[in-house]
Amino acid sequence: MSGELLAKGYEPHEVEKRCYASWIEQGLFSAEETSDKKPYSIVIPPPNVTGVLHMGHALNNTLQDLLCRYRRLKGDNVLWMPGTDHAGIATQNVVEKKLAAEGRTRHEVGREAFIDEVWKWKEESGNAIFKQLKRMGASCDWDRERFTMDDGLSEAVRKVFVDLYKKGLIYRGNYIINWCPRCNTALADLEVEHEDKPGKLYHLKYPFADGSGHFVVATTRPETMFGDTAVAVNPEDDRYKGITATHVKLPLTDREIPIIRDEYVDLEFGTGALKVTPAHDPNDFELGKKHNLESLKVMTDEGVMNDGAGAFEGLTREACREAAVKALDEQGYLVKVEDHPHSVGHCYRCKTVIEPNLSQQWFVKVKPLAEKAIAAVEDGRTRIIPEHWTKTYYEWMYNIRDWCISRQIWWGHRIPVWTCDECGMDIVEETDPTVCPGCGSTHLTQDTDVLDTWFSSALWPFSTMGWPENTDLLKTFYPTSTLVTGFDILFFWVARMMMMGLHFMDEVPFKDVYIHALVRDEEGKKMSKSKGNVIDPLTVSDEYGTDAFRFTLTAFAAQGRDVKMSLARVEGYRHFINKIWNAARFSFMHLEQPHTEIDYANISLADRWILARLAETTAKVEEAIDTYKFNEAAAALYSFVWHSFCDWYLEASKPALYGKMGDAAMESTRSVLYRVLHDTLILLHPIIPFVSEEIYSKLPGTEGSIMKASWPVCDEFAAHGADAVAEKEMESVIAVISGLRNIRSEMNIAPSLELTVEVQAETEEMAALVNREKSTIMTLSRLASCEVKLTGERPKGVGTAIVEGAAVYVFLEGVVDFDREIERLEKSIAKSEKAVAGLEGKLNNQGFISKAPADVVAKFQAQHDEAKDKLDKLAFTLQKLKDVQSN
């Protein structure tokens, strides 16, 4: 318990460091493996072990932390499971670069020594992102930190592989896969990033073998022609129905290839004649299987032409394209070349253009798994929020292709398949075999590939909790409650967790999937290093404080809308944090001891009103968080704290707090102020944990951390008049005060000058209300006198404000020097008119508009709008003065 006053100014860095250390020391983030409390669990989307905090992480983890802190305050047993992903390709690239700087390669080092190097790097540098998440206030259960390559998860991975293999859901086969020539590994479809690039469409002659004519085929990749094994046309294509030739001569080679007919060929694309290259195009691969075509691989895994390319052997694919086109032109096979922008796939890690590559790989047969995952969303066991992402999920799942899970790298879970060197038998077991069960040989060789990183991540919701053991943690917290993630990994990760969770746990892995949008720059552009518009979250926290940053992220996290991040907005919410701090400092002057019991018999209208607003805000915040409308929760809190509590209630409570209304009124107002401040801090805590903790810890009567507090329950307020009636009455009082303040502002009346006022009410009830609350109205409006009467004639020489239920008149004779004020306004108007005219001249100058950069034009437009608004206000005020003077 402490009545210690708060420091004059809020210093976020000192507070954040101290608060977080205290939370850790007290074990406040720890989940209970068994408990009578309602379980609530979230598994963190595991950041790559190579990762550093970016804006996407900041938003994602702020929202997860908000949910977890909220559920703790609601009394739940909360588990927020932290961990990192081993990020196979990315981590191997990092360590390979480190070795290269030392003049070594992984092949020189050898596989085992290289893996040791990776583990060493991981221990030294691999958990930087956790420190950064702690800076953001992340309340993960850090004692349970997991890693996709740790022993327990590795055991789970092997068990899953063996189980799926033995059920026929994992198989090995030749298939067209995405291949990165730089990383020298297969990539899943989802690991390929597509970019629209300028390209060419080459029209080539393929002569009929019988000399009766030729096809013209169109291709974007003439270097692959050496792997052509057919030309296909649509049987419904009238252009080719009369052709009797059965084969064509393949240009630049001595081969003949067959003509096939298939409905797959697009009648509209190119010439309608399609070169078929089964080893270098996934669609051609399927066509080749259907027509029993040979698959000829004409490139090495490094993207270099092999002996199948004849005279072009040894050239890179890019050099071969250039050389082949030149040769085709020289030999009369090149008909024309057209510009043809098209989508080009790139490796998501190194950005190299990927190559469709025929290769022997391991695959998961996903269709049977996907059917269960589709049904789980259809029947509501798992909800996807916002709902429109459900359609995207279905589209992908209904059209899902088998998942290539083998990667030709060293860092990762090595595929648990051994081949007998003697008899060729494959052995797939959870423990390393030593003897071939077929022939008894001890000469066994393990597959050199590792599993796709997403294979282990797909098990994350249950493998992190101890599966395959049926642990207490698993029994308590699986299925998890909520998954918070970005839309970019809806298929990479979310869909695969659904499939694996349902198969191995017979339950969905999570009940709700909340998909947040992207964080963009203030102009709505995607952040990228090349654009120079990346905002570093840690820099923002350093400059403005973590709470201001978190509130900004939350305030703009509207469903289905990207977050436009600007530092001006963070600055605005820093003012909000300071507003809370200063309101608490004022409150502490009157709360030297706990005031936990409200004296409802003596509470004022302002007291009843703020309690009604507190109850309403509590309900709004609760509903907003429960429905993942985080921006609405932030908006409700901002409005309540800034406008209701600070702007109105604290001002309205001053007469009572300073003893002007008697001891009973002072004590009852103190009790209301205590309750409102106490509960407001709890409502704010999930979003701004540090400042709320610091103030709460110094509030008299509190014990321990705010994290141990209970979510506010405001049911009793309405029974004591803190309800809609109090809100309506106080809103009428606020309208009268606002009207008086507007007149003071419009007439340029000094704040210190006390005014004489007459309020003409339309009803007896309104008159009685204003009379009852006259003290509040006079104090907050600085009035010398306030007469209340029923509606009558408008007095002369008054400024007027019309509010609902009353007319408010301020006597201006002797208060305003009309002639002098009119002269001042006319001078200001003339100056403003000149400024507006100058800006309009610029904006109406088409020469200027057409040549000036867009941001310069926008700046002048903003200046014009501001100047015009000022001119309109000056003109309005002048007219009001003249009206009063002539009245």
- Six-digit token string for 423: 């008899």
Amino acid (one-letter) located at 71: R
| CB proximity list for 136: less than 8 A, separation 6 or greater | 53, 58, 61, 62, 65, 537, 541, 546, 549, 550
Residue type, 554: T
In whole angstroms, what is the distance from residue 98 CA to residue 125 CA? 12
Q: Are 559 and 386 in contact (CB under 8 A)?
A: yes
For residue 483, the cross-strand partners are 513
The rounded distance, in Å, linking the Cα atoms of 274 and 265 is 7
Q: Cα separation of 644 and 574, whole Å?
A: 19
Q: In whole angstroms, what is the distance from residue 335 CA to residue 762 CA?
A: 89
| Beta-carbon count within 10 A of 322 CB | 13
Report which of 573, 577, 595 is spatially closest to residue 585, judged by C-alpha positions.
577
Which amino acid would we find at residue 525? K
84: region left, alpha or beta (phi > 0 left; psi from -120 to 50 alpha): beta
Residue 415 tokens read as: 């595929």
Dist CA 308 CA 314 (whole Å): 10
Q: List, in order, residues 6 or more apart from 534 with CB less than 8 Å away.
A: 54, 55, 527, 528
For residue 298, what is the DSSP state? -
CB 63 within 8 Å of CB 516: yes
Name the nearest CA neighbour of 84 among 37, 117, 122.
122
Between the alpha carbon of residue 2 and those of residues 21, 707, 716, 887, the distances in Å are 20, 17, 27, 60
Q: How far is CA 757 from CA 169, 405, 736, 744, 821, in A?
A: 84, 80, 11, 12, 21
Q: Hey, which residues does 516 pair with through a beta bridge?
A: 486
The CA-CA-CA angle for residues 657, 662, 668, to 5°, reads: 55
Indicate the helix (H) or strand (E) that contains 130.
helix 128-135
- Beta strands, E only, 447-542: 450-451, 480-486, 510-516, 519-521
**Secondary element (H or E) of residue 27:** none
Whether 475 has a binding-site annotation, put simply, is no
* CA-closest candidate to residue 279, choices 230, 321, 350, 346: 230
Considering only CA atoms, which of 431, 445, 496, 446 is closest in space to residue 154? Answer: 431
How many other CB atoms sit within 10 Å of the CB of residue 188?
21
Dihedral sign computed on CA atoms, order 290, 293, 294, 298: negative
Are 36 and 706 within 8 A, CB to CB? no
Place of tokens 């349970």: 144
Name the phi and psi angles at 85, rounded to 5. Answer: -100, 140
Residue bearing tokens 């022993």: 151
Strand order in the sheet with 806-811: 783-790, 755-761, 806-811, 798-803
Q: What SS3 class is residue 35?
A: coil
Phi, psi of 679 (to 5 degrees): -70, -35
Annotated binding site: 529
Annotated binding site for ATP: 529
